[in-house]
Structure 1
Amino acid sequence: MVSTGAVLAAGLATGLAMAAAPAAAAPGRTPGAAPYPRPEPPVRLVLPRPTGHHAIGTAALRLTDRSRRDPWVPAQPVRELMVQLWYPARSAAAPSRPGLPQAPWMTAEAAKVFQKTGYLLDGYVTLPVTHARDSAAADTRAGRRPVILYSHGHGQHRASSTSLVEDLVSHGYVVVTIDHTYDAGQVEFPGGRVETYAMPPLGDEDDDPVVGKAVDVRVTDTRFVLEELSRIVRSRRSGGRPLPHGLADVLDMSRVAMFGHSLGGATAAAAMASGVPLRAGANLDGALFGPVVDSGLRRPFLLMSEDADSNPSWAKAWPHLRDWRRNLRLTGTRHFSYTDYETFMPQAAERLGATEEQLAEFIGPLDEARAIDIQRRFLRAYFDLHLRHQPARILDGPSAHYPEMRFIG
């Protein structure tokens, strides 16, 4: 649940990746190690189908903040970000229509880096396509729609929780996913340039100054992204380039919320505490850092965690959350259950040589389809309540329908 250390300490996940690598030193293999790689085709990963009725469009944008040098790579004279807008699309842009390609889960050059250094190695898995059509026309018939920002975990990337993002969009939200450059594992910019992780080493303490700086950088990124989105709504262009038809007409910048995984969840809380205009926030299994721990929030905030002991920062911040609040714990999950690894790892486990015990250590014993379904339902109910003022009975307390979800507070 510690937002920064979890990625670095994910020894099991690293082990899964190493187990999939060619075994050059056969005599050193230990009992129970993964079998030798077999000459078989890679596993093609599949994202779970969204549950809403809206078709999905997506468009990636490069944003340049010329008011600041990059905080991690000072040689970069400006701060560059990639964001991806996911939005309800015209029904004609549904997957059955030829001509509009399905967007990849990760862009091609970024994927090459990811599959060399990540857990889902090239040659063992093929990364999925999404359910979104690239640059599809937006569905403007319902007018402007609430906007939700997504911030990834430390060392992860904007596609990390696409299973959750796509589902929200299929129910009528616009979701904007942010790559925090040099904090993300890899970010591809137009033209195929890829910038990789470049933060200093992190300490193990919650007051590590590098962690504090990372949160501050992400909060500034978030504020800048919102400013750029508002400018896009006014000008209907991004960087001089036209947007997909109707996209600027569906962004309701008066109804904006944010969620994130791990350090991304900490970012949502810190951004709200610093005055970024967000109506509500949600933290998926991330420790809290900075002033928000002691000063709290006066806007709605959701905490949802893995099946583990309570995080000290949550316990400390809890009395200072003075608006609507929930502290939920999903039985049978782990830190990476709130990312697409929840659905990818079971698909890839056999090819990677992972045992059921290893898999359970990484994403927990809860069935992956059930875990994703519960996350989707509770997250959507939360945003329905605070962005659409719709009743959300599943957030009122424990129920027989969702016995896995424990209400801690």
Structure 2
Amino acid sequence: MSRTRGTIDIALIIGAIAITAIGILAYLFPTTKVPDPGGKYEVGLKIIELSDETRLDPFSDAKMSRRLIIDIWYPSDDTSGSRRSPWFRNHSVFVNSLAENYDLPPILFQHLRAVKTNSFLDAVPSADARNLPAVILSPGTPAIVPLYFAFAEYLASRGIVVIGIEHPYGASVVEFSDGTQFHFNRDRVMELPGAETFEEGVRLSMKLMAEDLSFVIDKLVELNKSNHVLAGVFDTERVIAFGHSGGGGVVHFASLYDERIKALLTFDPALFVMNEREISKGIKIPALIMETDEWKEREESGRIADLINSSSVPPYHIIIPDAKHPDFAMLDHISPLANFLDFTGIFMKDGGEYYLYSVIHGFIDYVFGNRSKEEFYSDLLQREDVRLFEGVDEILKR
């Protein structure tokens, strides 16, 4: 029996709608890999669980030591036989936690199950990987370390080690190999001893995470003296602390009390719980602060201008237009919906992401004497749409 023209037309319409729907889904939920970092090295990734027996975890319902997970990215020459790391180790756990904490539908994250990174689990360190600068990363709250994969891979592929700290109760979720999970709860800071206000609770939480950072440095020193495969990879005399948002506040706190931190990197640091004495101390080590226009207007930013004005070592300060606070956490790599929903700006899409990575790399080289100030200025001046300062003095474009 022959088909009527109407039947053929309906089939064509249904087919076109299906193809269009598939195309829309493929655009909104692309299955890709984290962008190639572009350095001369492959990237290895090792995940290590730590327990600080000297501290009890004040967040825990049970009496237990403070536990952490650290993700270590490092240069490698040979990744053969090593498995490429997924973006999220336990997809369902991370997806549900991210969706809940950012008030987004879980479907936005479902495609991430198939996203591949450029990091190879337990790859052999490069023969060149000796006494390298170490960047210790404290993520935003309640962000998670995997949201900074592109940043970590960029630096590791260029010969810099990156150590991401998974802070229990600070991250959206932290899951240990024994199945134990710790989930973020904003109101839980009020349960910390001494917290009578939310701000006091946040301050105590940040100080706890600053102690985590110092503990990680202790462990890197120990690891260097051991027979571990990464022994000797880190130069613990060249430690840089990097933080985004709440993690930015954490690294500023840590630098006040740990002299082993030689430089600071921060994206939109949350400094609103720093007291007058801490602000007046300023910054006494080299620092690079990257700040979006919108963050300047938010209460959580605190008194960045006063901190800069009090600093004995004038920090470099980049003010970024057309960017939003979540831009630093790879949201544009998750889906274009992030921009449609007004979570992100256009700066990162226009080469801004790699401008920032390049500037960070140049800053690290400058701090440790491998790049002149003139060369670092050249890095800073690559874009016309940012405002640049050294301390309170604006760096004018030539």
Give 1:376's aligned residue: 357
Q: Give the SS at the match of 2:71.
A: strand
Q: 1:45: Cα distance to partner?
A: 4.3
Are the aligned partners of 1:398 and 1:407 in contact in 2 as well (CA < 8 Å)? no
Give 1:402's aligned residue: 383
Q: 1:107: Cα distance to partner?
A: 1.1
Alpha-carbon distance in structure 1 between the residues aligned to 2:286 and 2:198: 25
Q: Give the SS at the match of 1:225.
A: helix
Alpha-carbon distance in structure 2 between the residues aligned to 1:259 and 1:249: 21
Give 2:87's aligned residue: 105
Gaps of 5+ in 2: 1-20, 191-196, 393-398
Q: 1:403: Cα distance to partner?
A: 0.8
> 2:106 is matched by which residue type in structure 1?
L
RMSD: 2.8
Query: Is 1:391 the counterpart of 2:391 in the alignment?
Result: no
Q: 1:254 aligns with which of 237, 251, 256?
A: 237
Cα distance per residue 1:125-178 (max 9 Å; x no partner): 224221011000001335321111000011111122111111011110011000
Alpha-carbon distance in structure 1 between the residues aligned to 2:287 and 2:333: 26
Instruction: From the superposition, tell whether residues 279 and 316 of structure 1 become closer, same or farther in structure 2 (CA, over 3 Å).
Output: same
Are the aligned partners of 1:342 and 1:372 in contact in 2 as well (CA < 8 Å)? no
> 2:355 is matched by which residue type in structure 1?
I
Give the structure-1-normalised TM-score.
0.78
Are the aligned partners of 1:182 and 1:195 in contact in 2 as well (CA < 8 Å)? yes
Normalized per residue, the structure richer in helix is 2
Give 2:217's aligned residue: 226
Q: 1:395: Cα distance to partner?
A: 4.6
**Highest relative contact order (Cα 8 Å, sep 6+), 1 or 2?**
1
Alpha-carbon distance in structure 2 between the residues aligned to 1:102 and 1:396: 36
Q: Give the SS at the match of 1:66.
A: strand
Query: Is 1:344 the counterpart of 2:316 in the alignment?
Result: no
Q: Give the SS at the match of 2:303.
A: helix
> 2:208 is matched by which residue type in structure 1?
V
Query: Is 1:86 the counterpart of 2:73 in the alignment?
Result: yes
Give 2:264's aligned residue: 281
Give 2:208's aligned residue: 217
Alpha-carbon distance in structure 2 between the residues aligned to 1:39 and 1:314: 42
The equivalences for 1:146-295 within 5 A come to 146-200=133-187, 208-237=199-228, 245=229, 247-288=230-271, 289-290=273-274, 291-295=277-281
Equivalenced residue count is 351
Are the aligned partners of 1:64 and 1:79 in contact in 2 as well (CA < 8 Å)? yes
The equivalences for 1:120-139 within 5 A come to 121-122=106-107, 124-127=110-113, 128-139=115-126
Alpha-carbon distance in structure 2 between the residues aligned to 1:390 and 1:38: 46
Are the aligned partners of 1:384 and 1:392 in contact in 2 as well (CA < 8 Å)? no
Are the aligned partners of 2:75 and 2:129 in contact in 1 as well (CA < 8 Å)? no
Instruction: From the superposition, tell whether residues 255 and 138 of structure 1 become closer, same or farther in structure 2 (CA, over 3 Å).
Output: same
Gaps of 5+ in 1: 1-35, 238-244
Alpha-carbon distance in structure 2 between the residues aligned to 1:274 and 1:191: 33
Instruction: From the superposition, tell whether residues 399 and 234 of structure 1 become closer, same or farther in structure 2 (CA, over 3 Å).
Output: closer
Q: 1:143 aligns with which of 110, 120, 130?
A: 130
Are the aligned partners of 1:146 and 1:255 in contact in 2 as well (CA < 8 Å)? yes
Alpha-carbon distance in structure 1 between the residues aligned to 2:219 and 2:380: 41
Alpha-carbon distance in structure 1 between the residues aligned to 2:105 and 2:86: 15
Once the two structures are aligned, what percentage of the paired residues are identical? Answer: 21
Give 1:56's aligned residue: 43
Cα distance per residue 1:298-326 (max 9 Å; x no partner): 11111111123465510121122111411
Instruction: From the superposition, tell whether residues 362 and 104 of structure 1 become closer, same or farther in structure 2 (CA, over 3 Å).
Output: same
Q: 1:38: Cα distance to partner?
A: 10
Give the structure-2-normalised TM-score.
0.80
The equivalences for 1:306-325 within 5 A come to 306-308=292-294, 309=296, 311-325=301-315
Give 1:12's aligned residue: none
Instruction: From the superposition, tell whether residues 397 and 321 of structure 1 become closer, same or farther in structure 2 (CA, over 3 Å).
Output: farther
Q: 1:81: Cα distance to partner?
A: 0.4
Q: 1:398: Cα distance to partner?
A: 9.3
Instruction: From the superposition, tell whether residues 400 and 407 of structure 1 become closer, same or farther in structure 2 (CA, over 3 Å).
Output: closer
Alpha-carbon distance in structure 2 between the residues aligned to 1:121 and 1:300: 40
Q: 1:269: Cα distance to partner?
A: 1.2
> 1:214 is matched by which residue type in structure 2?
S
Instruction: From the superposition, tell whether residues 302 and 401 of structure 1 become closer, same or farther in structure 2 (CA, over 3 Å).
Output: closer
Give 2:3's aligned residue: none
Alpha-carbon distance in structure 2 between the residues aligned to 1:280 and 1:366: 26
Q: Give the SS at the match of 1:208.
A: helix
Q: 1:393: Cα distance to partner?
A: 4.0
Q: 1:84: Cα distance to partner?
A: 0.7
Instruction: From the superposition, tell whether residues 70 and 329 of structure 1 become closer, same or farther in structure 2 (CA, over 3 Å).
Output: same
Alpha-carbon distance in structure 1 between the residues aligned to 2:293 and 2:317: 12
